A and B are shown apart, each in its own frame.
Chain A
Amino acid sequence: MKISNKIVEKHGLKIEEYESIKKLLNRQPNLLELGIFSAMWNEHCSYKSSRIHLRKLPTKGKQVIQGPGENAGVIDIGDNDAIVFKIESHNHPSYIEPYQGAATGVGGILRDVFTMGARPIALLNSIHFGSPDHTKTKSLLNGVVSGIGGYGNCIGIPTVGGETKFNETYNENILVNAMAVGHANKDKIFYSKAKGLNKSVVYVGSKTGRDGIHGASMASAEFDENSEEKKPTVQVGDPFTEKLLMEACLELMKDNSIISIQDMGAAGLTSSSVEMASKGGLGIELELDKVPCREENMTPYEMMLSESQERMLIILEDGKEHNAKKIFDKWDLDFVVIGKTTNTNKLTLKFNNKIQGEIPIEALASKAPIYDRKWIKKKPQKKEINLKDLKKIKIEDALIKILSNPNHSNKSWITNQYDQSVMCDTALKSGSDAAIIRIHNKDKAIAVTVDSSAYYCKSYPLTGGKQIVCENWRNLISVGAKPLAITNCLNFGNPENEEIMGEFVECLTGIKQACEFLDYPVVSGNVSFYNGTNKKNIYPTPVIGGVGLIKKITKPLDHNFKKNNSNLILIGKTFGHLEQSCFLRENYSINDGLPPEINLKNEKNNGEIVLKLIEEDLILSSHDVSDGGLITALAEMSIVSKYGVKIQKPKKLTNLFKYFFGEDQARYILEIEAINLPKIEKVLKNNDVYYENIGFTQKDYFEIEGELKISNKDLFKINNEWYNNF
């Protein structure tokens, strides 16, 4: 069959790329081979636009066992315990079919984690929707939340944290990023690198159907008389089968049967087999007749490109098939030897006893295209907002506006739909700065959180990139955890657009600088480009998922005020930075200017000293100050507590709006007992940490002396209104 330019384009390949394929093969590929190239050379698998920039990220550290490049990152938390984690996007499928898209997103990221030998212990997510008033927003939100819950609840992994944000930039392109965290024994981590010749390549899990063969299958349909029946279909998640697959894999991992294991994610059988062979410097031969199929008459093309869920590829040690099969039989899962490793360094595909396709592995992996795309630097748009030019409002009204906004509203409408408690190790749930998960049967815990700041990243990506890492780090500190490492999900628009590519490069530079300074390496991640439609790209939205360690647990530290008349300390300096603030956005619809500057030195110092105070058990409750500023952080603490606050007016910065709504970074609010104040002040002074005594807790009321006094109950009501009326 002749491969026309049209067929090439329908496979998402550029004509130049097709020319290189011909060169690498020394011949024209057949359709099956073209399909395989298109799967491996697309942005998702090859990282062709991002790879040269991703290389700059810091990925090493004492705590790192495995950095990016495997199914998930692995870090050391001492005593032979390792934490395995990764975040991944499922944006486009979730927009098309929100329930299944979100569900399979959760399923995919869980497989990445248990593939490495870890039992998943927590799920998190970062979901972004269009404007709250947009016609599609509510049904998308509903579908995505049910999908995330439907999968996580069924498989029995607690969904413990996340963020939900609204912004019209996502009207036509929502973001659904799911993060999974697992626990493994440090010396029982499994990798995808194949080893040894003539080893059995085993297919386990669900059967292969025509799921998610995307645009590529439309191209193939042109050559097929039954094209109508082969429309691309959405992947449907089956959490029940995934639960069986997880238990079966973890059971098989107890002995030494597995040489290498890889989940069949995007581009299913193709990417998993190529990945294993490429890492091991080997070839792989598959007999496609043996692939368990769900539908009749599936072609090699469809089998290789299917994205059916809940499947794995395993390379087994000699003589272990029998035992392994027994385990998968017990769990009622398919277990079929479909091929073997070879020394040809080729991917060889047989069907009906004939070779249907043969491609050198390196052509699919190391020789895949890499682009150094053009990008332009963002020009800083300096613009100081003069409050005197704006309509006068009351502090109270401005605060209410923020707290009643969907972005700041209480999200229990969402989180109550997730089982947060299953596995009985969730010590701190959603709604806190970070979730705390105890390591099963141990007296230590990890803290986990996800963050993004699209407005900051849009206005100045370099600062935005730094800011998210810092905020994520702060959130972990606030619950008393030492931040160890991050995973990132980089959601951007079209990289062929120089401005968008610039946003990507500069956000990444910001992330890099912050991670390096804070010794907070990146151990896994995912890039999602082409978010947007019709030349309207989304705001750059890198999402950071962080993991920290609490070495010895006594009681989880949260942001509930614990006592009446405790002292409140604000750590970090308040300059009153209002540009890009929630205050200006919600009250004046002003989106100009630069985000607050990041001082990494202060960030690190403040964080380390706060952690020290927490570890010495001197802190009753703590909260990081982020968007919405000091007043919003105090209100958030009051809303979840029996107690409110009585705050004095500032002594130095005289403009109250700047003081209370400014979004300066590196700040925390700490509740402490008066008796400990001298001790704490001494530590802060000795370590050059700027702090202010800002007031006290009191019963029932949220008060700024001489300015406003609202009951906690009313604040709670305001904060819950939006979702209650949903």
Chain B
Amino acid sequence: MRSSVIVFPGSNCDRDIGVALEKMQFKNQMIWHKETRLPKSDLIVIPGGFSYGDYLRSGAIAGKSLIIDEVIRAANSGCLILGICNGFQILTETGLLKGTLLRNKNLKFINKDVQIKVLNNKTKFTNKYKKDQIIKINIAHNEGNFFTDLLHLEKLSNENLIAFKYCDEKGNINENSNPNGSLENIAGIFNDNKNILGMMPHPERMIDEFISNKDGVNLFTSLLG
């Protein structure tokens, strides 16, 4: 499987996701944002970080970069797109995903391990997880508070477009298990065709027992098919 990681000035999880993809046997390439052509890819990853310092709005400036037109074209022709953290924010700024990510409810940057529940395991991104599986995963963001309009929210639930929700160790989805104020504890969503996934938590940080755990591995093996 060929993957491309888009690198913006200020991306800082690009190396981490690159390492993870290679470890999982993807044939990966790093693509600098000033490129105007994307190599043929089965998966495009927009990594975490602070593209352009997250100045103005998180993801706003990266959403205007040259390479993004290529990403949109690829997405529309069915290429798999994964946006993690800042990548999720960028995807909402480009319009590839609806909704937006507001500042965390407590107005602080949050880095910790949280639990999320896999709501839809019948997608190219999540098929190696069990339905309702609870996984422990790291979050690290200032703007992870997902918000969208009611219509879109209904559509997300009705069409099974919510990938993950924050929960506690026992799987309870409620205010106490919501780290950042996200609408309905949403941690990650798909587009209508389910070829685009945006998520705030960092699966690339969860592939190594020595450092954390291996709860992120299945996301990559799902993609490998």
Query: Which chain B residue lies CB-closest to A332?
Result: B9
Judged by a CB distance under 8 angstroms, whether A438 is at the interface is yes
A240-B55, A424-B19, A555-B210 in contact; A156/B202 too (CB < 8 A)? no
Which of B92-100, B105-113, B117-125, B151-159 interfaces with chain A? B105-113
A244-B9, A426-B211 in contact; A417/B16 too (CB < 8 A)? no
A98 to chain B, nearest CB (A): 15
- Contact pattern, B 1-33, Cβ under 8 Å of A = 1, otherwise 0: 000000001101101100110000000000010
Judged by a CB distance under 8 angstroms, whether A334 is at the interface is no
Which of A238, A421, A427 contacts B111 (CB under 8 A)?
A: A421
Which one of B54, B210, B212 has the greatest number of beta carbons of chain A within 10 Å?
A: B210
State A419–B142 Cα separation when bound (angstroms). Answer: 10
State A240–B58 Cα separation when bound (angstroms). Answer: 13
A531 to chain B, nearest CB (A): 29
- Contact pattern, A 104-144, Cβ under 8 Å of B = 1, otherwise 0: 00000000000000000000000000000000000000000
Judged by a CB distance under 8 angstroms, whether A530 is at the interface is no
A243-B10, A424-B19, A438-B211 in contact; A419/B50 too (CB < 8 A)? no
Judged by a CB distance under 8 angstroms, whether B140 is at the interface is yes
Which of A150, A331, A332, A553 contacts B210 (CB under 8 A)?
A: A553
State A473–B215 Cα separation when bound (angstroms). Answer: 35
A153-B50, A240-B55 in contact; A421/B205 too (CB < 8 A)? yes
State A556–B208 Cα separation when bound (angstroms). Answer: 13
- Is the pair A153, B210 in contact by a Cβ cutoff of 8 Å? no
Which of B20, B50, B111 contacts A240 (CB under 8 A)?
A: B50
Judged by a CB distance under 8 angstroms, whether B138 is at the interface is yes
Q: Which residues of A have CB within 8 Å of B212?
A: 421
Judged by a CB distance under 8 angstroms, whether B49 is at the interface is yes
- Contact pattern, B 183-225, Cβ under 8 Å of A = 1, otherwise 0: 0000000000000000000101100101110000000000000
- Is the pair B13, A240 in contact by a Cβ cutoff of 8 Å? no
Judged by a CB distance under 8 angstroms, whether A708 is at the interface is no
Judged by a CB distance under 8 angstroms, whether A155 is at the interface is yes
State A156–B108 Cα separation when bound (angstroms). Answer: 17
State A243–B15 Cα separation when bound (angstroms). Answer: 14
Q: Which residues of B have CB within 8 Å of A149?
A: 109
Tally of contact residues, A, Cβ under 8 A: 34
Q: Which residues of B have CB within 8 Å of A156?
A: 12-13, 49-50
Judged by a CB distance under 8 angstroms, whether B147 is at the interface is no
Which one of B20, B53, B55, B212 has the greatest number of beta carbons of chain A within 10 Å?
A: B53
Judged by a CB distance under 8 angstroms, whether A362 is at the interface is no
Q: Which residues of B have CB within 8 Å of A150?
A: 109
B16 to chain A, nearest CB (A): 5
State A416–B104 Cα separation when bound (angstroms). Answer: 13
B64 to chain A, nearest CB (A): 15
Q: Which residues of A have CB within 8 Å of B48?
A: 422
The B-contacting residues of A in range 400-421, CB under 8 angstroms, are: 412, 415-421
- Is the pair A419, B53 in contact by a Cβ cutoff of 8 Å? no
A1 to chain B, nearest CB (A): 42
- Is the pair B53, A154 in contact by a Cβ cutoff of 8 Å? yes
The A-contacting residues of B in range 162-182, CB under 8 angstroms, are: none
Query: Which chain A residue lies CB-closest to B140?
Result: A419
Q: Which residues of B have CB within 8 Å of A332?
A: 9
| 7 interchain pairs, CB-CB under 8 A | A240-B52, A244-B10, A415-B111, A416-B111, A417-B110, A421-B202, A422-B12
State A280–B18 Cα separation when bound (angstroms). Answer: 41
State A292–B55 Cα separation when bound (angstroms). Answer: 23
Q: Which residues of B have CB within 8 Å of A241?
A: 53
Q: Which residues of B have CB within 8 Å of A555?
A: 210
- Is the pair A240, B9 in contact by a Cβ cutoff of 8 Å? yes
A154-B50, A422-B140 in contact; A243/B12 too (CB < 8 A)? yes
Judged by a CB distance under 8 angstroms, whether A615 is at the interface is no
State A425–B138 Cα separation when bound (angstroms). Answer: 13
Q: Which residues of B have CB within 8 Å of A244?
A: 9-10
Q: Which residues of A have CB within 8 Å of B202?
A: 421
Q: Which residues of A have CB within 8 Å of B111?
A: 153, 415-421
Q: Which residues of A have CB within 8 Å of B49?
A: 156
Q: Which residues of A have CB within 8 Å of B55?
A: 240
- Is the pair B109, A424 in contact by a Cβ cutoff of 8 Å? no
State A420–B142 Cα separation when bound (angstroms). Answer: 14
- Is the pair A153, B140 in contact by a Cβ cutoff of 8 Å? yes
Q: Which residues of B have CB within 8 Å of A415?
A: 111
State A415–B113 Cα separation when bound (angstroms). Answer: 12
Judged by a CB distance under 8 angstroms, whether A546 is at the interface is no
8 A-B pairs with least C-beta separation: A156-B12, A240-B53, A154-B50, A419-B140, A424-B16, A419-B111, A417-B109, A421-B138
- Is the pair B9, A422 in contact by a Cβ cutoff of 8 Å? no
Query: Which chain A residue lies CB-closest to B15?
Result: A423
- Is the pair A240, B109 in contact by a Cβ cutoff of 8 Å? no
- Is the pair B211, A425 in contact by a Cβ cutoff of 8 Å? yes
A416-B110, A419-B140, A421-B140 in contact; A239/B50 too (CB < 8 A)? yes
State A424–B207 Cα separation when bound (angstroms). Answer: 9
State A670–B79 Cα separation when bound (angstroms). Answer: 54
Q: Which residues of B have CB within 8 Å of A416?
A: 108, 110-112
Q: Which residues of A have CB within 8 Å of B15?
A: 423
Which one of A146, A149, A416 has the greatest number of beta carbons of chain B within 10 Å?
A: A416
State A423–B184 Cα separation when bound (angstroms). Answer: 30
Q: Which residues of B have CB within 8 Å of A427?
A: 210-211
Which one of A154, A238, A556 has the greatest number of beta carbons of chain B within 10 Å?
A: A154
A153-B109, A239-B53, A416-B112 in contact; A422/B10 too (CB < 8 A)? no
- Is the pair B16, A422 in contact by a Cβ cutoff of 8 Å? yes
State A425–B13 Cα separation when bound (angstroms). Answer: 12
- Contact pattern, A 423-453, Cβ under 8 Å of B = 1, otherwise 0: 1111100000000001000000000000000
State A331–B9 Cα separation when bound (angstroms). Answer: 7
- Contact pattern, A 140-180, Cβ under 8 Å of B = 1, otherwise 0: 00000010011001111000000000000000000000000
Query: Which chain B residue lies CB-closest to A240?
Result: B53
- Is the pair A243, B9 in contact by a Cβ cutoff of 8 Å? yes
The B-contacting residues of A in range 668-686, CB under 8 angstroms, are: none
State A156–B210 Cα separation when bound (angstroms). Answer: 21
Additional A-B contacts beyond A240-B55, A421-B138 (10; CB < 8 A): A150-B109, A155-B50, A240-B50, A241-B53, A244-B9, A417-B110, A419-B109, A421-B211, A422-B16, A438-B211
Q: Which residues of A have CB within 8 Å of B32?
A: 330
- Contact pattern, A 551-568, Cβ under 8 Å of B = 1, otherwise 0: 001011000000000000
State A146–B211 Cα separation when bound (angstroms). Answer: 26
State A332–B52 Cα separation when bound (angstroms). Answer: 11
- Is the pair A424, B204 in contact by a Cβ cutoff of 8 Å? yes
State A415–B142 Cα separation when bound (angstroms). Answer: 14
- Is the pair B50, A424 in contact by a Cβ cutoff of 8 Å? no
State A448–B143 Cα separation when bound (angstroms). Answer: 30
State A332–B54 Cα separation when bound (angstroms). Answer: 16
- Contact pattern, B 51-64, Cβ under 8 Å of A = 1, otherwise 0: 01111000000000
B115 to chain A, nearest CB (A): 16
Q: Which residues of B have CB within 8 Å of A146?
A: 108-109
